[in-house]
A and B are shown apart, each in its own frame.
Chain A
Amino acid sequence: MSDGVQELQKLADSIVGKAKSGEQVEAYISRGGETSVRVYEGEVEHFVSAQSEGIGIRVIKDGRTGFAYAGTLDDDAITEVLAEARDNVQFGTVDEWAGLAEPDGVAQIPQKFWDEELASYPTDKKISITKELEKLTLAADARVRAEEANYEDGWGETAVSTTTGIRESGRGNSCYVSVSTLADDGDESLTGFGFSVGDSPKEFDLNKAAREAADRATRLLGATKPASKLVTIVLDPYVTSQFVSILSSVLNGESLAKGRSLFADRLNQQVADARFTLVDDPTNPLAYTATDIDGEGLAARRNILIENGVLKKFVHSSYSARRMNTKSTGNASRGGFAGSPGVSCLAMQVQPGTKTQAELISGIDDGVLIQDVSGMHSGVNTISGDFSTGASGIVITNGTLGAPIREFTIASTLQKMLLNIVDLGNDVDWLPMRAVGLSLVISDVMMSGA
């Protein structure tokens, strides 16, 4: 454990030590830093170097919860945060299930979150990598312009202590590069992006990021608006990842407890095609969002949620678990020191199929390869299940990719889409997102266009 982390844990312990009789207290402390480089036309557009820290304190007494936070670790501020959290307790409604997590004996699975090479990586090389990425992108295709090339890294240390015996801390760092591209098509321009993620910059694949950014922007050149009809869609891995992430809300145990899950009463029933198996596994080090503990400090663990299309499990925090008379699945999630924990899937993985994307496409007579979607936040309702998003992609005719299309929507319901999964690819891509990517084929989706 680093000195910084130990210092945070001590601070968290000292706050918890101030708990009065009958009070449960949780102190969550974090500290971190970031470097951000943006390059445009060969010059550094901005260079950001910044550190931040903060504390969130939760106090529970007689079934009532209060919370407060501050973006500083000054002694005065911490005293004020504890006082505010205590003051806020009186306004809560008594909730018999309110409470902090208690150690449950599940062992953590150790993973590597800290990379020494990244921690000491020189600034000038961060800049030169970003410039190199822009250069490679422009070289990848003469029709492409670069809107921005970025290098980002960050490190963080966190510690959480509670009066119920949770005492966890750790640190991690990460980095990525990304590039945004434009390809002109008359008055309009089409956009693309590419990225690369690694434990340290030496793992970046700049050529791949540049190639993908150029391809994404150019492959839709000349795209037209299609006519409306029912089609089979192939979701590109990047789109599948976004689609699978949505299922986190549907499988959320707190939503279930509060009557907001469209899968209520469906446990052990067929909710998806038998080819579909979904696991939440933050203990898999390949997952970008892998972690050893959840937002309450319990060990992260592997949970099978949907197996061969059958709904097996909802994910829970200690609170939702108490309400549903079950045990936490280690799925408390936390956005940082400024919020108290909620519930969500942490690292979602779909069991892959056996075919490449090309093989999947070759079996489709009339379909669309969906390369991008928009408006996931405005057109998908995880309570009613209504699904409608903007999309762009490439027409599939008799097993062959054809003309590019854009400015259309794809629509169905989440319930139907899961049952209409007809195949899955073997092209697993560990994207920097909450869910893994792979090609996913779904039938009977309404494409709406001209």
Chain B
Amino acid sequence: MTKSQTTEPLVATDVLERVLAKGRSTGAEFAEIYIEDKRSTSAGLDDGKVEQVTSGRDRGAGIRVVSGETTGFAHTSDLSERGLLAASEAAAMAAKQGGGGVIKVQLGATLRHPVNNIKISPDGVEKSRKVELLKRADAAARSVNSAIVQVSAGYGDSLRRILVANSNGVLSADDQVRTLLRVSVVATGDGGMQTGYDSLGHTIGFELFDENDVEELAIRAAKQAVTKLSARPAPSGAMPVVIKRGSGGVLFHEACGHGLEADLVGKSASVYRGKMGELVASPLVTLIDDGTMTAEWGAIGIDDEGHPSQRNTLIQDGVLTDYMWDYLRARKEGRVQSGNGRRQSYQHLPMVRMTNTFVINGKEDPDDIVRDTKHGVYIAKLGGGQVDTASGDFVFGMTEAYLIENGEITEPLRESNLIGNGPEVLKDIDLLGNDFAMGNPGMCGKDGQGVPVGDGQPTLRVRSLTIGGTAA
């Protein structure tokens, strides 16, 4: 047994009870303590050299006190009872409403709801084995073609122990493990330089590398860069777009995921406000957010408010069935939490966030989807994206794409963004494949906080999307 699997609580239950009672001492109706102890190891290789191995430790507590519509928040890296009580008092003062008196908080047994099965905890693995992965990736990428002029590779693992307790009696704990490898490649040719990128990340331990081939990953990234050396400028204007399975979940993340977060809906800052029960997408589309999805990058045992993760259907056969909820928004609207209250660290307030967001299988053979497309763009790899949830306008980058001509995938295209409007694009999905796959690990940013998320979809076609290239 490694030290990561200890069941010793981060802070004793009687201390938590006193800290929560202090939080409510100025009349607030809700107090919460969130404790985090995170250890991480990362290693970076660039230009053929292992540049640096980094070890990190982040440990502390965030205390939230809610009084009416006002939230007070304070955090501390001092986990002694004295440190926690001081932070609790600061949060209570911040949310002060007057009143108060002696409050007693009682916590029961700790809830655990593990969704991942860690076989090899990364903190028990020699650092030399982690560094070795980078050297293998470097060698494999460089072996692909003499046009490869530069390779960088990064390894990262983290073990994040969290404990959440609140004055409603919730006491939950989770150990969250993440392991990741990424490879970036530069190739050079007559037309200048091009880049390739791929990554692999799961909420499992070092067994990740028994189940996946590092060389294969590096070779994919290298081939992507080499292929793009002969790429022509991407087209401009609107046309049909086919997105390969497991590469375009970010489309749904941006086109509607953020817009279904109840905090944005609650402030009427989402184009999906007031649309519950309405047809918001093609009837082909069933959209799920699932924090329980074993080993996937957005999988969590509990969310950062102590609520067990769960599988939520957001869109069923094109009809909007629910938004995603956190504690405060659910409380305000008389709804139940959906396990989507997440935060970057103990230094941050929780808010509504996605976990693993994906569209389930349709019926089409993916090859038929391409064959059925006379002229358009085939996207094999998407980059990041960004959305304005209020207007619904969103962009996402294509990092590996090809022309489709007369039902066949032909020439590679240079990088560009695509732009669309969420509700319009969802309705424009006219073919959905039967080849579902999850995509690369992602980091989702909102209001200055980053959290790990997953996404996925089968191969699909959007009837019309605007490609932001330079060719006429």
Binding site for B on A (CB under 8 A): 40, 43-53, 65-72, 77, 80-81, 84-85, 87-88, 91-93, 95, 145, 147-148, 182, 185, 187-191, 225, 228, 257-260, 262, 338-340, 374-375, 377-379, 381, 383-386, 388-390, 392, 406-413, 446-450
Residue in contact with A68 in the complex, picked from B54, B58, B74, B75, CB distance below 8 Å:
B54
A71-B77, A191-B388, A411-B469 known; A388 and B416 CB under 8 Å? yes
Binding site for A on B (CB under 8 A): 43, 45-60, 68-78, 90-91, 94-95, 127-128, 131, 149-150, 186, 188, 192-195, 228, 234, 236-238, 267-269, 271, 347, 349, 383-386, 388, 390-397, 414-421, 423, 466-472
Could you say which residues of chain A place their CB within 8 Å of the CB of B74? 48-50
| In contact, A448 and B390 (Cβ under 8 angstroms) | no
| In contact, B55 and A88 (Cβ under 8 angstroms) | yes
| In contact, A67 and B54 (Cβ under 8 angstroms) | yes
| In contact, B69 and A43 (Cβ under 8 angstroms) | yes
| In contact, B419 and A407 (Cβ under 8 angstroms) | yes
Main secondary structure of the interface of A (DSSP, over half): strand
Could you say which residues of chain A place their CB within 8 Å of the CB of B69? 40, 43-45
Interface core residue of A340, A379, A383 (most chain B CB under 10 Å)? A379
A44-B70, A48-B349 known; A407 and B416 CB under 8 Å? no
Q: A51-B76, A70-B59, A91-B128 are in contact. List 17 more A-B contacts (CB 8 A).
A: A47-B72, A49-B72, A66-B53, A71-B57, A71-B60, A85-B55, A188-B392, A259-B149, A340-B52, A409-B416, A410-B468, A411-B469, A446-B471, A448-B236, A448-B237, A448-B466, A449-B466
Main secondary structure of the interface of B (DSSP, over half): strand
| In contact, A407 and B51 (Cβ under 8 angstroms) | no
Could you say which residues of chain A place their CB within 8 Å of the CB of B186? 259-260, 383
| In contact, A52 and B75 (Cβ under 8 angstroms) | yes
How far is A188 from B271 in the complex, measured between Cα atoms in Å?
5
Residue in contact with A91 in the complex, picked from B53, B391, B396, B467, CB distance below 8 Å:
B53
Could you say which residues of chain A place their CB within 8 Å of the CB of B70? 43-47
| In contact, B269 and A48 (Cβ under 8 angstroms) | no
How far is A70 from B186 in the complex, measured between Cα atoms in Å?
33
| In contact, A189 and B390 (Cβ under 8 angstroms) | yes
Interface core residue of A53, A71, A447 (most chain B CB under 10 Å)? A71
Could you say which residues of chain B place their CB within 8 Å of the CB of A47? 70-73, 94-95
Could you say which residues of chain A place their CB within 8 Å of the CB of B57? 68-72, 77, 80-81
A188-B271, A260-B186, A390-B417 known; A46 and B72 CB under 8 Å? yes
Could you say which residues of chain A place their CB within 8 Å of the CB of B49? 92-93, 95
How far is A11 from B77 in the complex, measured between Cα atoms in Å?
18
How far is A392 from B394 in the complex, measured between Cα atoms in Å?
12
* 5 A-B pairs closest in CB distance: A409-B468, A378-B397, A379-B417, A448-B236, A375-B395
**Chain B residue nearest to A375 in the complex (CB):** B395
Residue in contact with B416 in the complex, picked from A66, A72, A379, CB distance below 8 Å:
A379
